[in-house]
Each structure stands twice: as structure tokens, then as C-alpha cells.
Chains A and B, each alone.
Chain A
């Protein structure tokens, strides 16, 4: 033991100690200070983020996806709340030693299983593994069922709300509206095209949480309601130009025609000739957008994605060029002969020999030979330029996902036979919607109408394609096609004057025209006195037992849909006076599907 002799010696010793302590403290402070500077200056962001993560819980507030409506406000697509029922197997317990409690638990289990549409055995099986903390018992549960499940108050059973897209109109509008995927993003149709507008913006809510641990695992609880909140911005509603009534009518008529003729498929497009709005666009077979098997060949909107050779529906366009250039008049005689017409080493045939007929009758009886002979007098340059002006070979501007432009070879590469064949719609292809748009020229005094599917889209200016005089003449000729002796008598509408042109095309298979596979089409408009609607219909590969021509296949579809369109849009019956002189029943028989 050290013996201190004097007071001075005591303090001397103390001073040494004091200095050591001081140095140690200074060193500690220096370290602390350095660490503080390090944390505050260099690790600030990282630490703040970590702190937020520990104290705050960010919750995304999902915006409501916008609705899709038809032109009259009818619902086509809507997001509905559905629930997923989740079980925490570690907590859910349906066993108890007490017989009274056990009976109650059995009752709860049975009720839960019934509401989940499961057997009690299946339910037991699913929650058997006690290590699984989040078992999805059933998804897409309706809100009322979820309430009943939650009222059972079973520990470990919870629900999770999600919004699921619901399409109340099912198949008829499926190709236009499209559908969303599991992630809620649009996959097809308008859902895909307008995804950004429909989605809106997510909101955010931040809750205060604690740092609770259960069984060694961090199980934070919300201890404060929130720190801040950013409200979600709901997606905007999209109003389409589609008229649901006409869409359903077109779908049902098309379905009936496809089934009656045992065809592969059919498509129809109905346009408002005055505004260019698409009133109906449908395909059969279709699919149910609410179902799960949204794959397969019928998922595409074939009216805009599939091309076919337009056939005789091109004849009025070729003929209009000849009229416009004063090459022929409606009464010019054309000798279509009594046998196939040999041209450039190839034969051009008519279904029936017509002999010498007038130019307007070439359209009425749909003579290929007559059309070829008229087109011989038109230069390829003029013919191709007019086809382009009518919209062939380029997209319509409807901006629908998957739309194709069709194909038209450059006229400089046309051989003489190509020129001839083009005049009656072979050697080039187009979509059904292109064909419908082309005929807006005849309905709009010679102007091609830009078409739209979304209500409120900025109107575009129509382009002049034909003179009003030529259009008037063409309308009269097209009207004759639906008169007796024409190819489209089945397209007539009681009380109204309608015009149009049929098309019957042989299908091209591996570069060779099939002898027994056809595409029948019809493009028409009405009422002729003041055309309001243009409709194009295409039926693909009918079995042929009950006819295969465009007039037989598509004419009745046109008649049925147009009759409803005229009625629902209260259009004056411009052909009534003429009709009442005729037998009313005759129409009923002829236009029957």
C-alpha cells in the first residue's frame, strides 16, 4: 500500500490521475465527435431512410380505375371491390378440449367452409401446415360474403380487398373494351389503349409503427393513425362512341348468321356516316372478358387486325374513278360476253353470263368482266391513287391496338392483269373497318370521313375524294344493288331506301385460290335520301349449304341491324311510300336471317 506523506504529495498523485482521466475523456469525446460528424455528414440519407422504415409504414392508396361507358352512359367496364380470404395457420385453431367450445368451433368451421365453397375436409387440409402464416383460402369473394365471413370472428382469418375489373356486357363488346391483366393493367382493346388515362395516380398514407417483436420476429403495430396522407387521383372515365344497343344487335345478328351458315367467324362494323363515329364493332366468335381463359384465336378484334381481299366491294370505287374521269356514263354499254373473258393469258369469270349490259348494271349484277373492261380505260396511276384516297393501304386513324394497314402493291409494279383484278378487289387486301370507312365517301357527298372510337376526340377534317355529282350517281347505282335483280335483295330494310355492294371472295390458301372456301361480305349505307349509317359485314368460310355469296350471308345481318338503327335514331322512312305498294310479307321472308 502506498503511503502518502504529505498533502502536496497527495495532490501530485491526483494530478497524474486527473490528467489520465482527462486524456481518456478527451479521446472519447473526440471519437464521439468524429462519429457524430460521420453520421450527420456522410450517412445522413441512409440513416434517415432507415429511421423512416422503422417508424413509418407506407401504404399505397390505390386509385379507382376509370369506367368505360358507351355513348349513352351504359356501363361497359367497371372496377369492383372483391376480397381475398387469408388464413394464418399458426393462429387458426378449430380444436378445443372443452366439448361445448368444440361444438361452437365445429359450427364456425362449417359456416366458414360453406361461405368459401369448400368442404370442411378441404379447409382442414389447407390450414394443416401451422408454419404457413398467410394461406389464400379463396379469392374474388363478393363484399357481402366477406362481411358474413368476418362476422364469424374466427382468429387468424383476415381479408384483403382488391379491385377487379368487371365487364357486365360480356362477349358482344369484348373485342372493343378488351381486358386487364392480373396486375390491373390493360392488356387488350380500349383497356390497353387508354391504360394511362384509366389508371389515375396512386396516393400514399404513412402510419406510425412501433418496434414490437413476437417469437423473435418483428411484428410492428400501427401506433399512430398516420403521419401524412396523399390522396389518390382516380382514373378518368372513357366514353366510347359505341352504342350498346346497336352493338348487341349487330353481335346477335352476326352470331345467328355465322351459326346458320356454319362459318368460321364473322365481323361487323357500323359507322355514323355524319360524324365518323364507330357505333358498333363486333366479332363472332368472341370471348368472355370476365373469364380466365382469355387466350386463343378469337381474342383479336378481327375487324381491325385481319385483312382479306375485298372482292366486289371494290367495284363501285373503280367505277367511280371511271365516272369521275368521264371515261364512262352509267348507261355506257359494256359487253361482258357469254363466256369467260380471256385477258393477258388469264381468264376472268362471272358467276352468270350477262351479255351486253349497261355500266350501272355491271355494279348491280356484280360483273367481274364488266368491271375489268371498264378499268382497262383507266390508268393504273389513277386507279391506285383513288384507292389510296378511299383509305386502302393505310391505317384508318382509329388508333386501335393491333390495327393493320392492309396491303396494296405499288401500281408501278402492276402487270395488266393485276390492274384488272384490282378493279374487282383481288390482289390487294384490307381490313373490314377500312372497307366501312371507304364507303363513307358515298354517304358524305364524296368526302372520306375520319373515324373515331372515343367520344370527344378532336374531330378531323373530311377529305374530298369524289365530286358530289359522281357520288349522287354512285348512290343511285348502289341502291339498285338492293333492288330486284341485284345481288343484295336480302339487305333491304322495310320502309327505307338502302344502298350497298356485296363481295364474294375466294380464300387464298398457300398462294392458290381455294375452290370451296369463300369470304362473303356486304357494305351498305342508308337511308339513301340522307345517308346516316354505313355498315360493313364479313362472314368467313361458310360451309356453303345455305349459300356462300355476300348477299346471302351478310345481307340479312345488314337488314336487321339497320332496321333497328333507323328506328332507334328516329330517321324518316324515305322509302315508305314505295313500300306500301308492295306486299309487306315479302320483305319479312326475304330479309329473314
Chain B
């Protein structure tokens, strides 16, 4: 009778533990899934930023900015001075 009672209590504990772990697993998986979604969103954002960066850093754009905003230009051969070591 005593043994049965002990086994019954153990059974109840095991059952509760199983339910609890299952719940924890699910909620952890849910968090993981959320994080994966966030990762994907961030990756998408990173992609868009990278494309923006690549289009903004094109040589033609840099040259255009250098010419228009900084008044820079490629010197002609006449303007080049050569220093021979």
C-alpha cells in the first residue's frame, strides 16, 4: 500500500515534469522561431543597405561628387609634375 502510494506520487511528479518540459520546449522553440524571423528581417535590411552602399560608392558617383562639391579634377599631363628619386 505504501509502495503504491510512493509510486503514485512519483508518477504524478513525472507527469507534471513532462508537461512542464514540453511547455518549456515549446516556448523556447517559439523564441527561437521569433529570433529566426528577426535574423531574416535583419539580413534583408543588411542586403538593402549593402546594395545602397554599393550604388553610392560607384566610381562615377564619387567622381561626380568630387567634381561638383569639391571642385576636384584629374590633372592633365601638362599639370603633372614628376619627382624622380
Contacts and interface: CB of A to CB of B under 8 A. Distances in A.
A587 interface: yes
Interface residues on B, range: 20 to 34
Contacts of A143: 44, 48
Interface stretch (B1-9, B10-18, B27-35, B64-72): B27-35
B47 A81 contact: yes
B51 A168 contact: yes
Contacts of B78: 584-585
Contacts of B43: 64
Interface in A542-585: 576-577, 580, 584-585
A166 B47 CA distance: 10
Contacts of A75: 50-51, 54
Interface in B56-83: 57, 59, 76-78, 80, 82
Contact of A166 (B44, B51, B59): B51
A78 interface: yes
B33 A80 contact: no
Given A75-B51, A80-B51, A166-B51, A225 B30 contact: yes
Interface string A218-251: 0000001110010100000000000001001000
Contact of A81 (B30, B44, B54): B44
Most buried by B among A61, A168, A585: A168
A580 B81 CA distance: 10
A80 B48 contact: yes
A292 to B, nearest CB: 20
B51 A229 contact: no
Interface in A494-553: 494-495
B30 A585 contact: no
A205 B26 CA distance: 14
A80 B77 contact: no
Contacts of B20: none
A229 B84 contact: no
Nearest to A586: B77
A580 B82 contact: yes
Given A78-B50, A143-B48, A168 B77 contact: no
B55 A168 contact: yes
A74 interface: yes
Contacts of B80: 584
**Interface secondary structure of B, over-half rule:** helix
Nearest to B77: A584
A494 B80 CA distance: 11
Given A79-B47, A143-B44, A166-B51, A494 B77 contact: yes
B47 A78 contact: yes
A226 B29 contact: yes
Interface string A482-498: 00000000000011000
A245 B59 contact: yes
Given A584-B77, A588-B77, A229 B48 contact: no
Contact of B29 (A78, A229, A585, A588): A229
B50 A225 contact: no
A143 B80 CA distance: 49
B47 A585 contact: no
Contacts, number: 53
B54 A226 contact: no
A226 B33 contact: yes
Interface in A57-85: 61, 64, 74-75, 78-81
Nearest to B27: A225
Contacts of A231: 36
Given A143-B44, A226-B29, A580-B82, A248 B51 contact: no
A224 B78 CA distance: 76
B33 A225 contact: yes
A568 to B, nearest CB: 11
Nearest to A231: B36
Contacts of A205: 33
Nearest to A224: B26
Contacts of A64: 43
A158 to B, nearest CB: 17
Contacts of A74: 54, 57
B55 to A, nearest CB: 6
Contacts of A584: 77-78, 80
Contacts of B30: 225-226
Nearest to B30: A225
B85 to A, nearest CB: 10
Contacts of A580: 82
B59 A78 contact: no
A231 B84 CA distance: 61
Nearest to A142: B48
Contacts of A78: 47, 50-51
A370 to B, nearest CB: 36
A225 B47 contact: no
A588 B47 CA distance: 43
Contacts of B76: 588
Contact of A587 (B32, B57, B77): B77
Interface string A143-182: 1000000000000000000000010100000000000000
12 contacts: A61-B36, A64-B43, A74-B54, A81-B47, A225-B26, A229-B32, A231-B36, A577-B84, A580-B82, A584-B77, A584-B78, A585-B77
Interface of B: 26, 29-30, 32-33, 36, 43-44, 47-48, 50-51, 54-55, 57, 59, 76-78, 80, 82, 84
Given A143-B44, A225-B30, A226-B29, 15 more contacts: A64-B43, A74-B54, A75-B51, A75-B54, A78-B47, A80-B44, A143-B48, A168-B51, A168-B54, A224-B26, A226-B33, A229-B29, A577-B84, A580-B82, A584-B78
Pairs A-B, 9 closest by C-beta atoms: A584-B77, A75-B54, A81-B44, A168-B54, A225-B30, A80-B47, A588-B77, A168-B55, A580-B82
